[in-house]
């Protein structure tokens, strides 16, 4: 069961590292990402925050997976 839990954590980490940056590239190029003056909008800031959280969760998932296998 521990190996299964570690595997799920690793899959989660890989998914977040692959999917979120690709999604964020599309968000940055969206017309809603910047206002007329070129400043970042709430749309861009919210998605940047979500990207940061997803990557942090990926890191924590990978670390937890390693700790499950080692410990």
Q: Is the pLDDT of residue 71 over 90?
A: no
Q: How many residues does the chain have?
A: 71
CA separation for the pair 56, 58 (Å, rounded): 5
Please, are residues 47 and 30 in contact by the beta-carbon 8 Å criterion? no
Q: pTM of the predicted model, to two decimals? A: 0.89
**Contacts of the segment 27-33: beta carbons below 8 A, 24+ positions apart:** none
Domain segments of the chain as ranges: 2-70
CA separation for the pair 47, 58 (Å, rounded): 16
The total of other beta-carbon atoms located within 10 Å of residue 55's CB is 16
pLDDT 10s digits, 12-50: 999 999 999 999 999 999 999 999 999 999 999 999 999
């Amino acid at each position: 069961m521990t190996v299964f839990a570690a595997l799920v954590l690793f899959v989660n980490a890989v998914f977040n590292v692959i999917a979120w940056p690709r999604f964020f590239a599309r968000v940055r190029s969206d017309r809603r990402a910047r206002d007329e003056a070129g400043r970042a909008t709430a749309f861009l800031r919210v998605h940047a925050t979500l990207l940061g959280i997803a990557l942090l969760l990926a890191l924590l998932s990978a670390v937890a997976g390693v700790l499950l296998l080692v410990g």
